[in-house]
Structure formats: structure tokens, C-alpha cells
DNA sequence: TAGGATTTGTGTACAAATTACACAATCATT
DNA sequence: AATGATTGTGTAATTTGTACACAAATCCTA
């Protein structure tokens, strides 16, 4: 195989194509980007650009650059795709079945991200990129369905005891919005009184002394995340907490 | 850079050295192998073979082969190093700072493993490989200290609600041994009566109607893990649970 | 073989957290 | 002014977690 492989290598280098070849393993990152709108969890997907996956959707991802930290790559992907700079991102796991990518051997590390869909800095320029309801996901490319499942599972665990969920909401929000969001994530209905008691106990919120003004019914009070509570948890030590 | 890189490549291929080079990213796996003995958690380490880390210890690991699933690689490493075939292994996270490896760009995926030190199939042939008390770890190579921390954190979470801990014990054990093990993992003392109540509630154990016979004091009853409870949780869906 | 050391095995009372559940007040719409 | 939708609030029952003490079993030693 040596000579043959070397030839392939030369060709690859000469054509300056990506580092997906036949005897090296390429490494990519994929981002599962969650948003929340109309009481539903959404995720951001792009039309696959591989012929094998012509009508399928896939996660936003890219190969990791040789001079770039693994954990920096998803930030770059997000910046390029959404214009957002200061996002919640957390590593979830790596996926590396030999046959997961049709064009060669690619191991990918998955990250999940929580963003506020109404963030005015959010700029989705690529018109192949769209929000999808988590409920009715179409066919997905690669093992991306499985990756999304793993990220959702992580999200469900994490929202129970860390204030990460607020990355999905605008700065001011009502308790109803917060409850709707929890329900969308956990996939269950929650009792309103018990939910409020539990949230109050966590002591995450500041009462803003303002009311909703855009609802067709009795408005609720508005809250914001207590200043000082960082909603972004980055780094490895926090990975599983 | 093209010509220069190509030369390096040729050399690498010609010398059949590993896939650590200057313009590709190599991928490895590292295993944090936990054992339990004399009321202490231990981990299995090997003397580093890099000059940069001459007197340091490192995790057992290897480069992932191009025709091998990522999640299979740590099983291979364990088989080669310990002779064990049917081990508990779980992916914890991937580590990929650009400067983490002195010889080139290597991203590693960390796994943690739980084995019974007294397993008679355990054969450690390489005399550079030794068990170390988790308490007094010497200097470690690479970012392996950080990796161990992440694995320990995962272990602590996981033993609270899944019966993985029994991978560290012999088939028959007393409640004292089990409690000592929990205490070693969690780093706390537990109240005996409350501990027993909690374990009883989980319904993980079968009473063997046998007694310890090798202790210098009143012997305790022996238990074993209920048959049907799989102590090995593999696969992706279980990754974070 | 008796006494000391060590460890097993067991239950109860209190505090804290979780669950189930209903009604009046507010605002928008008509 | 009545209707519809939603907010805001408390209590009782249950479950879970925590703190804590004493008698009995076995080994060891004198």
C-alpha cells in the first residue's frame, strides 16, 4: 500500500483539498445549536453539500485546523455561521465509527450551544441554513441524529441544576416563558405552583418590577437572571457537572 | 509550504513512523483505569517514553487506527495492556489544546474504565506499568492530570445512580467493602445506617447467605450484584446518563 | 478462658424536599 | 358588561434525607 498511498497523498497536497484522505483520520467539530421559539425547541441545520446526502440536513461543522485548539473550533464555526461571538458552548462527546462519513475517515467532536433566536446580533446569511423544530426533524446526514440525541440528553441533565437555560431567552422574560421552555426541553408538563416554588428556591432571578405588555391576556411580571450568575460555563472541569 | 510539507510527508511514509507529523492532526485515546485496593482508589499508569517527560507518568493510550472505530480503540489498549477483554469503559471527553503534546498535534479522547484489581485474568506484563494511589499522584505527562480529574468527576456522578461501581469489586463483597469504596470515590465519610438504607432501596444486591471469613473481627454478610443488572453500560446513548 | 478491640447490624425522630391540588384577580377582546 | 385566557398564591400529605446509640459477633491476647 505504501506507494499507492503516497500517490494519493501527493495528489491531495497538490490539489490543496481538505485533510480527508485515505490513510489519515480527519477531525471535525459539529455544533448542535438550540434555540427556542413559539414554545418549541429548535435546532439550526444546513442542507448537506454531499451528493450522498442530497436531500438531508446536517449540523453546522467544520474540520479542526491544525493550529487551532479543539475547543476553539466550534466557536469559529458559530461565529462564521451566525455572527455570534459570545455564545454558550459545551463539549458533549466524540463520534468516530469508521463508516460514519462517506468521503473518508472523520472523527467528530460534538458541542451543544444555546442561543437566543431573537438576539439582534444573530445574522444567518447562508440561505441553506434554517431553524428546524426538534419535534419533526427530517432525515439527517451522517450520524447527526444520534449526535443531537446525545446533546439533548446532556441539555436535559444540565438545566436541572445550572442556570444555562437563560441563554435561550431574551434578557427579560416572564415565568410563563421560562416554564414553557423547561417543558419544551424536558418534554413534560410541569405544575405551575411547584415550578415557581422550585425556581424561587434556586434564587437565580431578579424581579424587574415590570410587566409583559405584548400578551392578549393578563400580563405577568418580568424577571432577569441575577447579575453575577454567569450563564456560560466553559472549560473542561465543568464538562459534566 | 507545499513542497516542504510534501517532503516531510514522504519521509514519514518512508519511515513508517506514526501519524504524528506537522500538518495533520493525529488522534489518540487515553484510558483512565480505576482500581480499588486497601480502601483506596488507584489508577494504572505507565512511565512516559518521551524524553520531555522522562520522569513522569502517563495514561495508557495509543493512536487510533484508521480502520478502527474510535470507541473500539480503548478496548484494544486495555486488552493489550491488561489482558482484560470484557471491561467497563466509557467515553468522557476529548482534549485538544494545540500545545498539549510536545511531538506534534494530537487530539485525544479520554475513556474511563473500572476493573477489579484482583481479577485473575489481569496480566500486567509491561514492568513500566504500575498502580498508583489517586491520593498521591506524582507529576503526570501531557494534560493527563486534567483528564484524570474529568474522569473522576464523571465517576462520582455515575456511581450515584447506576450500578457501575461493582466493576471495581470482586463478585462477593460485604457492605463494608462497598461503603469503603463509595467513600474512596466520593472522598467523604458516609453514615453506615443511612448508607445501608440507601443501598437497600436501590435493590441492586442479592444476599448470599454467606459470611466473610478473612477479617480479624466480626464478619459481615456477603452480597453480590443482582443477576440481570448489567454493570457494563456501553454505547453512546448512555454516555452522559 | 476472660476481657478488650473492632466491627456488624439495626430503628426512630426530625428536617427538608416533592407532590397534588383550587380559586380569586387581572387584562384584552367583544 | 360579560367572556376567555392567564397570573399569582398556600396547604396538607408523602417521600426523602439526616442525625444518632447500643447490643451482639468474632478475633486476639494475656
Other Cβ atoms closer than 10 A to B52? 11
**Which sign, positive or negative, has the C-alpha torsion A174, A179, A184, A189?**
negative
Q: What are phi and psi of B29, to 5 degrees?
A: -125, 150
8 A C-beta contact, residue B27 and residue B109: yes
Strands B88-95 and B106-114, bridge-based pairing:
antiparallel
For residue B159, the SS3 value is: helix
Single pTM value for the model: 0.90
pLDDT band at A19 (very low <50, low <70, confident <90, very high): low
Model confidence pLDDT, tens digit, residues B79-132 = 999 999 999 999 999 999 999 999 999 999 999 999 999 999 999 999 999 999
Query: Hey, of A155, A240, A241, which one would you mutate to test binding to chain B, going by the most B CBs within 10 A of its CB?
Result: A240
Predicted local confidence at residue A233, as pLDDT = 59
Predicted local confidence at residue B236, as pLDDT = 34
Model confidence pLDDT, tens digit, residues B167-186 = 999 999 999 999 999 999 99
Distant-in-sequence, close-in-space partners of B176: CB < 8 Å, separation ≥ 6: B220
Q: By percentage, how much of chain B surpasses pLDDT 70?
A: 88
- Beta partners for residue A168, in sequence order: none
Q: Do B70 and A97 touch (CB under 8 A)?
A: yes
ipTM of this predicted structure: 0.89
8 A C-beta contact, residue A78 and residue A84: yes
Distant-in-sequence, close-in-space partners of A71: CB < 8 Å, separation ≥ 6: A91, A234, B96, B97
Buried b / exposed e over B74-88, threshold 16 CB at 10 Å, is: bbebbeebbebeebb
B221 CA – C13 C1', rounded, Å: 28
Q: Using CA atoms in the order B199, B36, B74, B98, what is the torsion angle rounded to 10 degrees? A: 100
Question: What CA–CA distances, in Å, run from B137 to B43, B45, B94, B185, B234?
Answer: 9, 10, 22, 15, 28
pLDDT band at A235 (very low <50, low <70, confident <90, very high): very low
Reference A34, options A115, A119, A91; nearest CA is A115
Across the interface, of B6, B27, B98, the residue whose CB is closest to A13 is B6
pLDDT band at A18 (very low <50, low <70, confident <90, very high): low
8 A C-beta contact, residue B79 and residue B60: no
Tell me the three cell numbers of residue B107.
Answer: 487530539
Over 90: is that where the pLDDT of A112 sits?
A: yes
Which chain A residue shows the shortest CA-CA distance from B2? A13
Question: What CA–CA distances, in Å, run from A182 to A44, A131, B66, B215?
Answer: 19, 19, 42, 52
For residue B93, the SS3 value is: strand
Residue B124 Cβ < 7 Å to strand C: no
Average pLDDT, integer, range B30-47: 97
Over 90: is that where the pLDDT of B49 sits?
A: no
A181 CA – C20 C1', rounded, Å: 22
pLDDT band at A21 (very low <50, low <70, confident <90, very high): confident
Give counts: helices (H), strands (E), chain A. Answer: 5, 10
**Nearest residue to D24 via alpha carbon and C1':** B218
Chain B residues inside the 8 Å CB shell of A93: 91, 93-94, 236, 239-240
pLDDT band at B19 (very low <50, low <70, confident <90, very high): low
Residue B8 Cβ < 7 Å to strand C: no
Round to whole Å and give the CA distance between A229 and B180: 37
Other Cβ atoms closer than 10 A to A233? 16
For residue A118, the SS3 value is: coil
pLDDT band at B160 (very low <50, low <70, confident <90, very high): very high
8 A C-beta contact, residue A166 and residue A225: yes
Residue B200 Cβ < 7 Å to strand D: no
Lookup: nucleotide whose C1' is closest to A215 CA: C28
The Cα of B105 is separated from the nearest Cα of chain A by a number of Å equal to 7
Round to whole Å and give the CA distance between A107 and A73: 14
Domains of chain B and any CATH numbers: 27-236 (3.90.79.10)
Residue B210 Cβ < 7 Å to strand D: no
Amino acid at each position: 500500500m505504501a506507494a499507492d498511498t503516497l500517490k494519493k497523498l501527493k495528489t491531495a497536497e497538490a490539489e490543496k483539498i481538505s485533510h480527508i484522505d485515505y490513510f489519515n483520520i480527519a477531525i471535525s467539530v459539529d455544533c448542535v445549536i438550540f434555540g427556542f421559539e413559539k414554545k418549541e425547541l429548535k435546532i439550526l441545520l444546513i442542507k448537506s453539500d454531499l451528493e450522498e446526502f442530497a436531500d438531508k440536513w446536517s449540523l453546522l461543522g467544520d474540520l479542526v485546523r491544525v493550529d487551532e485548539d479543539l475547543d476553539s473550533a466550534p466557536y469559529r464555526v458559530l461565529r462564521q455561521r451566525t455572527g455570534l461571538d459570545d455564545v454558550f458552548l459545551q463539549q458533549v462527546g466524540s463520534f468516530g465509527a469508521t463508516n460514519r462519513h462517506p468521503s473518508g475517515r472523520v472523527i467528530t467532536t460534538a458541542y451543544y450551544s444555546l442561543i437566543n433566536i431573537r438576539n439582534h446580533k444573530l445574522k444567518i446569511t447562508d440561505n441553506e441554513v434554517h431553524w428546524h423544530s426538534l419535534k419533526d426533524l427530517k432525515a439527517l446526514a451522517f450520524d447527526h441524529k444520534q449526535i443531537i440525541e446525545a446533546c439533548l440528553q446532556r441539555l436535559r441533565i444540565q438545566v436541572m441544576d445550572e442556570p444555562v437555560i437563560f441563554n435561550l431567552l431574551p434578557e427579560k422574560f416572564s415565568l410563563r416563558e421560562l416554564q414553557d421552555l423547561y417543558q419544551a426541553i424536558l418534554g413534560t408538563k410541569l405544575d405551575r405552583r411547584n415550578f415557581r416554588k422550585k425556581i424561587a428556591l434556586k434564587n437565580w432571578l431578579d424581579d424587574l418590577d415590570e410587566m409583559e405588555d405584548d400578551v392578549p391576556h393578563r400580563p405577568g411580571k418580568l424577571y432577569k437572571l441575577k447579575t453575577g450568575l454567569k450563564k456560560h460555563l466553559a472549560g473542561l472541569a465543568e464538562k459534566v457537572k
